[in-house]
Amino acid sequence: MKIQPYAATAKLCAAGGSAWVRSALILGAWLAGMATALAGEMQPLMVQRGACWLDESFAGGLDTNKWKALIGAWKVEDGALVGNERPEDHHSAAIKTPFSNITAVAQFSFMIKGDSRFHFSLNDAGGHNSYILVRPDALIMYKNADRKNPRTYAPILDETGAALALDTWHTMSVELSGAEMLARVDDTLFICGAHPGIDKAKADLVFAVTGTVLFDNVKLWSGTPGADWAAAKSKLLARQAARPMLDRSGNLQEAYAAAEVKVRDRLMKSDEKFSALVDVRACAMEALAKAFPVVNRKGAKADAEKKRLAQEDAKYKQLQKDVQAAQKNERDYLLAQAPEVKTIWMALLAANQAKAKAAAAAQKK
């Protein structure tokens, strides 16, 4: 995000006027520019900033020694990094930069174009660690599941509604200290969560974009735990407890996924019977993956092979049935403990059935 405090002033000065007026206009523009720059800088609450190891304005283009484009279209345009998702990729656009610290601060500017969103994602040596979903109507913090362990899941650590203006620059700060993570946007919105799995050395910071999003002024600092965090945290937690739940009434799929994982998180911490059902399902999935490693692969070739196995291989069919039965038992138990989630599940099933029926009718015409 480039600040150009003199742009309008230059036009006025070119039109004429006294030297005093021109000087006053230039000074006023300079002060306005400084105020804008300072307003975009957020002071950390959880972490005391140390050395800055990345200060990226993209003024010289995309430095491939610092950034690696993984997928999608990435370019620097008018001094900002532009990430574009490509339909043919069937995946969000993604770019990464090294990020290793356990205690750190990240700050950057972003602009969302149209119906777009992005992830601020952190990887560790084992893969995806945690991420923050930023979209115009919400900020949501997740701890990633371990893809190699089917017993794990991706809990929502915190969430809040938002009303982020499109085609407008916003400033975001993310602080990490041990197991805790704090994210703020424009120093008004915040989400704050913790998970033991966050407390480990990281490998990369990834911006993953669905649609089109611009980034600028990316800064990364090492840090140490802040001395005043306990008092600041107490105030944030009070605000967190008082704010309304995120409204997902317009999206049954998202409403069910969010409600289900919140109940799952509670049951995994408190219900031995549910944990045992999860173990049965995980063992069934591991048995299938051991016998047929292709089940964990993606792509057209893998899909074709799985389709063939489902039609021709008796062992594959039986192991698939075992997984499906275990999944149903696990789901039925969870829904029995949370009638409000079952209500959403039944509504989602009905909506999907109606959609399938409409699609079938359309094909007959």
pLDDT digits (tens, 9 = 90+) for 331-340: 999 999 999 9
Q: How confident is the model at residue 299 (pLDDT cuts 50, 70, 90)?
A: confident
Task: Give yes or no for a contact between 330 and 273, defined as CB atoms under 8 angstroms apart.
Answer: no
Residues 137, 161: Cα–Cα separation, whole Å: 6
Q: What pLDDT score was predicted for residue 40?
A: 57
Average pLDDT estimate for 118-131: 96
If DSSP codes are grouped into helix, strand and coil, which group holds residue 69? strand
Q: Over the stretch 70-106, which tens digit does the pLDDT of each residue have?
A: 999 999 999 999 999 999 999 999 999 999 889 999 9
Residue 9 has pLDDT above 70, yes or no: no
- CA-to-CA distance for 326 and 314, rounded, in angstroms? 19
- The domains of the chain are located at 7-37, 43-246, 262-364
In this structure, what are the phi and psi dihedrals at residue 350, rounded to the nearest 5 degrees?
-60, -40
Q: What is the pLDDT of residues 161-188, one digit of tens each?
A: 999 999 999 999 999 999 999 999 999 9
Q: What is the DSSP string of 180-193?
A: EEEEEETTTEEEEE
> In CATH, what is the architecture of 43-246?
Sandwich (2.60)
Q: Which two tokens stand for residue 228?
A: 């005043």
Q: H/E element holding 221?
A: strand 202-225
**What pLDDT does 164 receive?**
97
DSSP sequence for 302-328: HHHHHHHHHHH-HHHHHHHHHHHHHHH
Question: pTM for the whole thing?
Answer: 0.85
Angle formed by the axes of helices 314-337 and 252-270, nearest 10°: 80
